[in-house]
Structure 1
């Protein structure tokens, strides 16, 4: 639990909210070592990533702080927001642009109290439209559904469907992020069904050419593919 008095010393985000759209690159430390993390994220940004998430599930506090701080600097140079997975305390300490919360993480309301009105708060809603509706009502800045395809990073037996995206697009006003096994080859129907952004882990950071992979995802959101 975060101490609110201590939190007064943290650097809250000083910038306006960003648009949640396009390629959302998730830098997972199970795929990227500390020495490769910064360069990999830089390549993703050069290729066209619009958001970066730092995802580390370990308890190595010092290393996580150093890595997140380094990524925040890189993202600032590119004018792209850094989202921290799960950890409100870390997000507050480094002045990250936002937080991504899952079902077992602290509440959205608590995250907003600690990180402030300008923070981007995303919520995983898996394949549950009802959860998404509640998250939107509580002030989520984006909703994430998935997984949509088999995924090595997210092997849980939770599948979201095209129909879910279409229903959500009709009901929700909040940006929608799709995740889970999405590649440049299978992404277009997901985008056409209503996803504003595609979150990618392995499809990007397992690629031998991260920049080219990022560009391939980015192109899917161009007018030549989507005349909307």
Structure 2
């Protein structure tokens, strides 16, 4: 039994490709999500702690792989995580490095976000963006968050639900409209073209059995052409009771 940490993305000569990072009682493991791989597993409603980040780029396991009621971390690991205050929007937290503010069109919605400047376009790929534009760069973390909050106050959301990400727009028309309305000037990048995967198809679900070949991965959602299954952080992934294909 393992809990889902997240879908991890890495750039290669062929484009961005995905792996699934899992937490377990003995630490972490990764499983490839290459196109065409045959898998069989089930995502359940049970949740287990995914550990914490003790420093940038590092992850430590939960000492007891604790069962949790919601979210992805137990209270002990959340208290140790260096990003806890930052992701909650605490502008008193000032992380080292340069940060960017971006807009991303995901399906038919546009969101504003903040990431380290060197992590664009990785952040867009991780979020399942279809198109992205870096509108501000070279900022401190505090200033970047302040700009994000200001833009959000003008009606641009900071979050898009996973089920809205299964819509595949054919062009960045919505993003272009937002940029024109707010007088933002930046290059629009086709994020879909940066990955190894075909466009996501199938009925969206947050739990259940996933069998067959991996057809697509979009952000934190994987698809076999019939089902688009969310890889929700903290949820337990297990082998199905009756295995129709080779186990994941």
**Shorter-chain TM-score above 0.5:** no
Larger relative contact order (CA 8 Å, sep ≥ 6): 2
Which protein shows a greater Rg?
2
Q: Select the structure that is richer in helix.
A: 1
Q: Select the structure that is richer in strand.
A: 2
The TM-score, its normalising length taken from structure 1, stands at 0.29
The TM-score, its normalising length taken from structure 2, stands at 0.28
